[in-house]
Structure 1
Amino acid sequence: MADHNPDLVEDARHELGVSVAEMREANKKWQAMIRSPRARAAASRYRSVLGAPESVVRRKVGDLECEAWLWPLPLWPTLRFEVLLAPTGAVWNEWLVRAPGAEPPPLRTLDDLTPWSCTVDEAARAFAPVRPLEGSAPTRWGLAFTAPDARGARHACVAEFSWGLLQRVAVDPAP
């Protein structure tokens, strides 16, 4: 997320009381863990780092049944880190989602699409129809859609997400 919004990451680091050195060390350990030749399966890796999930729910995605593991986040109390697992235990997806029972943000115009304001699913619902776009890395997604500005003029947009959280929106200025 620091690639897109370094100031927000810096503010979050201060809010969490973590030094730059601690943040870098945590990232170094995570990268070593996921790239190790003896790396654990993704599901057990998340359990070892995050502990037991706050909740585990059955979910149906199209015709596929899966299990969703959800963890709370100190920085974002209205979000959860979600890991979707196939019946085989393989991780299908990992990203941030709105916590059960938490109200999604009102998303009506381009002004509402600020960094870290919404998840992929929330933007997709608010500005349907959308076209999913491949991200620049495994933890990144994109959506193409049209959205109105404050005056109601519609614009073509491309939203970029990291770990499921909005990072930025590129807007075609011509309505």
Structure 2
Amino acid sequence: MKYAWIDEHRDSYDLVSMCQMLDVSRSGYYRWKASTPSSTARRAEELDAEAKRIFEENHGVIGYRKVHEQLVAEGVVCCPETVRKSLRRQGLRAVRAARFVPSTTDSDHDLPVVENLLERNFTAGRPNEKWVSDITYIRTDEGWLYLAVVIDLFSRKVIGWAMADHLRTELV
């Protein structure tokens, strides 16, 4: 690890000074520089590259278990713990979604409230007798979308719908 740091900063600092500061010999550095990586080190580099590729293809939202699952599906032989260490070594951590707290109406106010005309009776005897609506929250990579739908209770068909990136009145 020390030799790799010395090699990385060789253009910026004097080799002798770095070796003295890190308490390593120059001959040890040159021996390290001339050596070829072990088969274990080469395998770790290959796994690092594959794990990083899969992680980035999935936009950084999957953890080591899913990365391991995809590696195994591609025929790479490894265990989950090795994948976890590989991702950690590279500083790759899955993005955790923030907890969803829906924006709902404030029921604690003095404004007039529309009375409940259906009283949980969701059956209709003929078309266009009863319409109901609902809003659904949809998480996307760009943020939240809100889908408002109006349904005829007789036919259960969608009468109309609207989608927006806000919950203002014009959505419904």
Q: TM-score, normalised by structure 1?
A: 0.19
Q: Which has the higher strand share?
A: 1
Looking at secondary structure, tell me which structure has more helix per residue.
2
**TM-score, reference length from structure 2:** 0.19
